[in-house]
A = this chain, B = another copy of it.
Amino acid sequence: MPVYNAPTKDMAFVLHEVLKTQDLSIEGYEDLSADFTSQVLDEAGKLARDVFQPVNASGDQEGCTLENGVIRTPAGFKEAFNKYREGGWNGLDCDPEYGGQGMPYVLHTAIGEIFCAANMALTMYPGLTHGAYSAIHAHGTDAQKATYLPKMVDLEWSGTMNLTEPHCGTDLGLMRTKAEPVSDGSYKISGQKIFISAGDNDMTDNVIHLVLAKIPGGPDGVKGISLFIVPKFIVNDDGSLGARNGVSVGNIEEKMGIHGNATCVMNYDEATGYLLGTEHKGMRAMFTMMNEARLGVGMQGLAQAEAAYQNAVNYAKDRLQGRDVTGTKNPDGPADPLTVHPDIRRMLMNQKSFIEGSRAFTLWGAMMIDSAHKDDAAEGLISLLTPVLKGFNTDIGYDMTVQAQQVFGGHGYIEEHGMSQFTRDARIAMIYEGANGVQALDLVGRKMPKDGGKHVMAFFDMIKTFASENKGDETYENDFLNPLKEASKDLQSVMMYFMQAGMKNPNDALAGSSDALHMFGHVCLGLMWAQMAKAANDALAAGTDDPQFYENKLITGRYYMQRWLPTTKSHMARAMSGSTNVMGLDAEAF
């Protein structure tokens, strides 16, 4: 059976020694002392290990069922959910006015990784609730906030996001769900939504659906979409639950993974809905949640990679097979452990160096979200990096779960060891919240050219500044700064090519969009490793009780720079090869 132990020491290293959150003048960060966050992370780690993780594999096996319109989550989910609820974990970064603890989003993200690594399907129920909370918090009236938020913060009620319909996912302008105005100011919502994660459950008393729909007579396409609050049970004026609303679960999908999460077809049949925000501005309201939601999905890729990696490490240490070609390491045993084999090491180092880099990247992104409302530069940068955080972390995170599975050989393919579940669960993160091709389109088509390319230039300047401020140590320059500068230069060449070629033919840029997104991701992780190596060098220079911890950071970082970062070369060659090779074939010739 798989295990999971939260990597709290690595998280604390990133927060306090790399990002130095406690020293930053960001609201709420003054409370992030090393002692405090370590305690929070440790508590989350215990709950994740002892309560969430033990029902992960069983939840996968059992899945959710729909009987007479009622969803049943797997055995043990409700108990685990209640412990999470009682611990107040859902309200960690929520507004104290509605019962939250007002902590920063960066801490929510760190504990999010922990719970998601332990049980992704279960963590999605509070995760979606948190997203719906954020939307109502940002766009709701005072009365709406007072009615819904305290119960959602407390997880007495859960929330969902309803966007996709059978014939449209990415292209929401094709949406058919209708919202007919009623004289009392409410709307009657009718239509079908599909792929609704955590669409219903048997753990909360009410489910607050946020539903995109069109008010008849509004503008065509995405400009005529509005957002509605549609509770499963109508909430009476005194806050008690009233009549069942006209919303029901039509079906639950059989999926490749996240079996413990009920992915529902939702049928709305003149359900009572309440406008959230402004008429026809529903897409804008959803988009304000986008950075957060996409960073959260990117974090899922990282979390599944971490969980898979931990188990691959355990197996590689325990399993005796073959001998070290440079001399046996276990002469008294029948064979050496798998860790002596360079190709096994390669896979473990791939995972480890990606995961630690990705964690720093994700927490850095969360930090920018925390400061974005007061800092335009942070807002611009996180907006640029959001598609990278989502696309890169989930693409590579998935690949890393596949490599972790590969370490197990045949034992990775049978369900008994749980390695298959990590890959099956991680797979969805490349798809939902905007498939990764859509992230690449967003990066190249919108975020890079945004504000005249100001934000992407600021990103490159930041790297240049970091490199010039930290030069002087030849080893550090060779190991970290030079490869980073080289990769950054490659990425800049691609951007220049996109700007020039894309002016004549936008497809020349779009055909390279996924390659550019991956290059961007590697440059970001290269920057993170340069920063982590600097922090490690600083700690070693200052003297430390645990020099090995910091030496290992340097070793892992060098692996990333030498074995991951050169990937930018191939991406660059592809991205700059134009679109003729991609678009040359007649569509009917496929």
Q: Is B569 within 8 A of A573, CB to CB? A: yes
Q: Mark A566-590, 1 if CB is under 8 A from B, else 0.
A: 1111100110010101111111111
Q: Mark A533-554, 1 if CB is under 8 A from B, else 0.
A: 0000000000000001000100
- A242 and B42 CA atoms in complex are apart in Å by 64
- A445 and B254 CA atoms in complex are apart in Å by 44
Given contacts A168-B321, A174-B335, A563-B581, contact A440 B343 (CB under 8 A): yes
Q: Is B416 within 8 A of A254, CB to CB? A: yes
Q: Is A587 within 8 A of B339, CB to CB? A: yes
- A552 and B255 CA atoms in complex are apart in Å by 36
Neighbouring B residues of A569 by C-beta, 8 Å? 566, 569-570, 573
Neighbouring B residues of A320 by C-beta, 8 Å? 167, 171, 174
Taking a contact as CB atoms closer than 8 A, the residue among B345, B431, B552 that contacts A511 in the complex is B345
Taking a contact as CB atoms closer than 8 A, the residue among B322, B409, B552 that contacts A589 in the complex is B552
Neighbouring B residues of A585 by C-beta, 8 Å? 345, 349, 552, 555-556
A285 at interface by CB-CB < 8 Å: no
Tell me how far the C-beta of A387 lies from the nearest C-beta in chain B, rounded to whole angstroms. 12
Q: Is A511 within 8 A of B346, CB to CB? A: yes
Neighbouring B residues of A169 by C-beta, 8 Å? 321, 409-410
A58 at interface by CB-CB < 8 Å: no
A143 at interface by CB-CB < 8 Å: no
Q: Is B513 within 8 A of A437, CB to CB? A: no
Tell me how far the C-beta of A225 lies from the nearest C-beta in chain B, rounded to whole angstroms. 15
A496 at interface by CB-CB < 8 Å: no
Stretch in A180-188, A368-376, A420-428 with 4+ CB within 8 Å of B? A420-428
Q: Is B577 within 8 A of A563, CB to CB? A: yes
Q: Is B582 within 8 A of A326, CB to CB? A: no
Stretch in A147-155, A453-461, A502-510 with 4+ CB within 8 Å of B? A502-510
Q: Is B412 within 8 A of A431, CB to CB? A: yes
A256 at interface by CB-CB < 8 Å: yes
A493 at interface by CB-CB < 8 Å: no
Neighbouring B residues of A335 by C-beta, 8 Å? 171, 174
Listed A/B pairs (23) with beta-carbon separation below 8 Å: A194-B410, A255-B414, A263-B414, A313-B590, A317-B590, A339-B587, A339-B590, A340-B587, A341-B441, A342-B510, A342-B511, A343-B440, A343-B441, A343-B510, A345-B583, A346-B582, A402-B427, A406-B437, A409-B431, A552-B585, A559-B582, A562-B574, A563-B574
> Which A positions have Cβ atoms within 8 angstroms of B?
164, 167-171, 174, 194-195, 253-257, 263, 313, 316-317, 320-322, 325-326, 334-335, 337, 339-349, 352, 398, 402, 405-406, 409-410, 412-416, 420, 423-424, 427-428, 430-432, 435-437, 440-441, 445, 505-507, 510-511, 513-514, 548, 552, 555-556, 558-559, 562-563, 566-570, 573-574, 577, 579, 581-590
Taking A174-B334, A325-B507 as given, write out 6 further A-B residue pairs in contact, using a Cβ cutoff of 8 Å, ordered by the A residue number: A169-B410, A174-B335, A339-B587, A341-B441, A402-B427, A566-B569
